[in-house]
Amino acid sequence: MKLSAPDIAALAKPGQFVSLQVNERGMPLLRRPMGVLSAKNGFIEILFKTAGKGTELLSRKTAGESISVLGPLGNGFTVNERLKHAVLIAGGYGVSPIAFLHEKLKSLRIKTTVIIGAKNKKLVFKEGFNLPEITTEDGSLGFKGLVTGRLEKTCSGLSCGTSAVFACGPVPMLKAVAQVSEKHGIECQVSMESMMACGVGVCLSCVCAVKEGIDTGYKRICADGPVFDSREIVWRT
């Protein structure tokens, strides 16, 4: 879906999200958080699948209608000035922020390797990516298996300090990606997914466990994230 939102488009960074009010009156009351797929020329784009009442209402919107949008929200990916090779991992609907980041890295002339994972070929979104490596759990497209199999092979040839992994997708995938990256000494940033109520850090409904020295603390995915250094997360899945 393409939305005219000049102010948001001018400020949005890869990894940030917007929060949409899908219904002006009645249910559902809560807004729906959506990763930004692209932001340019005064427009932002989002990618979604009709899966529940909220997205079903969103899918009914037609050209010319207005919708309330808050954003850009959260903290996005950080691109280190020493970065020469980025490995981008997109799992399922986590492809949106990865696609946005891919565009930025192309403009910076940074080499990228893109690995996209999905349950089957019907759920693969590869528009805009240049020769992505695709994995599907059922083998219906690309390599059969999980993204970590391709990542393991890629990481073995990367240089520490000038390479980094950026990932977005289901938490079990992010945990596995983090483990592979850390094993090879490669920096890894993960965009965490969670149900959100307010989207601005007030309600505390989307906290995740993080390391605080020898103790465990909590951070808000919407306001402190959604992007975190993978070494900061206490993985519980």
The CATH number covering residue 66 comes to: 2.40.30.10
User: Is 231 inside a domain boundary?
Assistant: no
Is residue 63 included in any domain, yes or no?
Answer: yes
In a domain, 205, yes or no: no
Check whether 10 has a pLDDT greater than 90.
yes
Note the pLDDT tens digit of each residue in 89-147.
Answer: 999 888 999 999 999 999 999 999 999 999 999 999 998 898 899 999 999 999 999 99
Stretch 47-75: mean pLDDT, rounded?
A: 90
- Residue 49: is its pLDDT beyond 90? no
- Over residues 68-72, mean pLDDT: 94
Asked if residue 12 belongs to a domain, the reply is: yes
Domains contained in the chain, number: 1
Residue 19 is assigned to a structural domain of this protein: yes
Give domain status of residue 33, yes or no. Answer: yes
3-state SS record for 132-198? CEEEECCCCCCEECCHHHHHHHHHCCCCCCCEEEEEECCHHHHHHHHHHHHHCCCEEEEECCCCCCC
Range 10-36 burial, b when 16+ CB lie within 10 A, else e = eebbbbbbbbbbbbeeeeeebbbbbbb
Structural domain containing residue 49? 2-73
Q: Mean pLDDT throughout 195-214?
A: 89
> β-strand 111-118 against 85-91: which pairing, if any?
parallel
For tokens 């102010």, name the residue: 7
**Averaged pLDDT score across all residues of the chain:** 92
- For residue 62, being part of any structural domain is answered with yes
The pLDDT tens digits for 212-221 are: 988 999 999 9
Model's pTM, two decimal places?
0.93
User: 174-190 pLDDT, tens per residue?
Assistant: 999 999 999 999 999 99
In a domain, 65, yes or no: yes
Q: State the pLDDT at residue 217.
A: 94
